[in-house]
Structure 1
Amino acid sequence: MAYEQFAFIYDKLMEDVPYDQWVTLVGKIKEQYFLNEESFSILDVACGTGELSVRFAKKGWDVTGVDLSEDMLAIANEKAFEAQIPIPFFQQNMAELQGFERQDCIVIFLDSINYLQSEQEVIQTFSSVYDQLKEGGIFLFDVHSAYKINEVFASSTFTLVEDEVSYIWNSFKGEYKNSIEHELTFFVLDEDTDQYERIDELHKQRTYPIEQFQAWLQEIGFSIVSLYGDEPFLPVSDTSERLYFVCKK
């Protein structure tokens, strides 16, 4: 996954992401499990450009952000600085989290786990999260469902045409079962030259049946306390496109 150029147009493309609904969900979890705590620590893994991290910090929570991309983290640091909120950001692989104090809550949003290309990476990520949580801590993450990978994305084309950013997004079935490859071509306006720059990206995503995620989580030691499908966090159905797992250590 090459985010080096993509980071700078990421926020434009993510304008429809339900960040505020995710903050509300985490807030409900805090009230349910940590109501009597004086502080609430949260590790925002795969934090990207820090959009959620800043929102979390504005709630008064003790936030730390982690991402693999140096460019994403540079933008995240700028956002925190502009908001005058001190948020530490670290460049780490989600499968190799280390060096943090034990957290009350760890989140991995925006189908970031789907970018892991092997079963072992998913297991290592769940184990890494488990090790960084306090006893009784909560792990919350979302993934694309097999339905979305196979029925919504497969052999589909999506387009966007705007003055600043346009793209053509073609999706094809991937190498593995329940996997997809996204070929994206962006045209980004350079305001200095008033010309468009072309950027090509290849993104690979992979998912698994609900039962497989559940088995891995339980083998590591998590109990699954809630499972939702889509926003606003509905019961899971055969056509749920996004799945939300709420797990307790």
Structure 2
Amino acid sequence: MNYEQFAYLYDQLMKDAPYDEWLTFTKEKLHLYLPEAKELLDVGCGTGELLLRLAKNGYDVTGVDLSSDMLVVANNKVEAAKVTAKLFEQDMRHLEGLGHFDAVLTYCDSLNYLPNEDDVQAAFLAFNRSLKDNGLLLLDVHSCYKMDEIFTGQIFADDDENISYIWKVFEGEFPYSVEHDLTFFVQNEDQTYARYEEFHEQRTYTIEQYKQWLEEAGFSVLEISADFGKEITEISERIFFVARKK
């Protein structure tokens, strides 16, 4: 399956994603640390679900994604909702010409798709350059526990009305990394099914390592939490960082 096909299936596959919780988390942290924030950059915006919610809540939102097809879907949603948002096809490691923002957001484990340490550090530097003085960075990543104990070795499956999938997860080459092998069966108009395959790799790092890289990139880490603001435990699945540009 190419990204064009995957982009148009993405929303159906992600129908249970916690977009409203990401919205609430964003609003709470902006209100707490930068209540005057207005201009936001949504990095890895995908098909625009969070971006649309932010725009409807009165924020001036710009979205970037590596997939032009994801951005086509996002733009269609923006036009249908009659809101304003700017969309750009860019790599999060090399953000250019976008201006400066009050806050940069990157959720839904977008950072975990970067293949190595240098790429994560490059992304943090790009986020810093994209922020106004004292601007905020809000992000989440998979926890090491989730990679090793929840993902690795698991098989997930779903049989929906017109799309089914089998999702196998294997241990990756590096510590705290996984390989996702997905097979989709999509119903055609003539009731036959087309089979598509996708392969994705994800990698995460320890909380201490992320904190070090953020500080080296010019951020002060204000808050680290888990699972939308909860206290971090050994079985936390998603780690959140709130950091301020120095």
Offset at residue 2 of structure 1 (A): 5.3
TM-score scaled to structure 2, two decimals? Answer: 0.97
Moved over 2 A (4+): 1-4
Distance 2:97 2:126 in 1: 11
1:160 maps to 2:158: yes
Equivalent residue number for residue 181 of structure 2:
183
Distance 1:221 1:213 in 2: 13
Q: Deviations over 1:112-141 (max 9, x none)?
A: 100000110000000000000011111011
Distance 2:26 2:226 in 1: 16
Q: What does 1:8-157 align with in structure 2 at a 5 Å threshold?
A: 8-35=8-35, 37=36, 40-157=38-155
> SS in structure 2 opposite 1:47?
coil
- CA RMSD, Structure 1 to Structure 2 (Å): 1.2
Equivalent residue number for residue 230 of structure 2:
234
> SS in structure 2 opposite 1:88?
strand
Equivalent residue number for residue 247 of structure 1:
243
The aligned amino acid for 2:61 is V
* Conservation of the 8 A alpha-carbon contact between 2:52 and 2:78: yes
> SS in structure 1 opposite 2:72?
helix
> SS in structure 1 opposite 2:85?
coil
Distance 2:100 2:16 in 1: 32
The aligned amino acid for 2:132 is K
Offset at residue 4 of structure 1 (A): 2.8
> SS in structure 2 opposite 1:95?
coil
Offset at residue 98 of structure 1 (A): 1.1
* Conservation of the 8 A alpha-carbon contact between 2:64 and 2:87: yes
> SS in structure 2 opposite 1:5?
helix
The aligned amino acid for 2:216 is E
**1:200 alignment partner, one of 193, 197, 200:** 197
* Conservation of the 8 A alpha-carbon contact between 2:40 and 2:103: yes
* Conservation of the 8 A alpha-carbon contact between 1:30 and 1:40: no
Distance 2:3 2:203 in 1: 18
Structure 1, gaps ≥5 residues long: none
Distance 1:22 1:171 in 2: 25
* Conservation of the 8 A alpha-carbon contact between 1:103 and 1:132: yes
> SS in structure 1 opposite 2:9?
helix
Offset at residue 17 of structure 1 (A): 1.0
